Amino acid sequence: MNLIKDGRELSKTDLRVWTLIKYGCKLFNKHLGREIFRFKAIEVKQIDVKELVNEAVEKVVEFA
């Protein structure tokens, strides 16, 4: 599934890719129990996009 349109926003959402990268970094910090990435707390309100990012982070942590 290709969600990125023009490299800036996710299609059918108003979310910028950079916002989701920051959200993913926040999740990595949470999963690893320490601050590796320094970003302000970011919250994603679209549940479907949030679930996709959560799943991706969990898979990366699982393989690491």
Q: For residue range 2-26, what is the model confidence (pLDDT) as tens digits?
A: 454 455 555 666 677 888 899 999 9
Q: What confidence tens digit (pLDDT) does each residue in 18-50 have?
A: 888 999 999 999 999 999 999 887 888 888 889
Measured CA to CA, the distance from residue 28 to residue 54 in angstroms comes to: 9
Structure tokens at 50: 């949030």
Residue with tokens 């942590």: 61
State the greatest distance between any 2 C-alpha atoms of the chain, in Å, as a whole number: 34
Helix boundaries (H) for the chain: 17-32, 47-63
CB atoms within 10 A of CB 6: 7
**pTM (2 decimals)?**
0.74
Domain extents for the chain?
A: 4-63
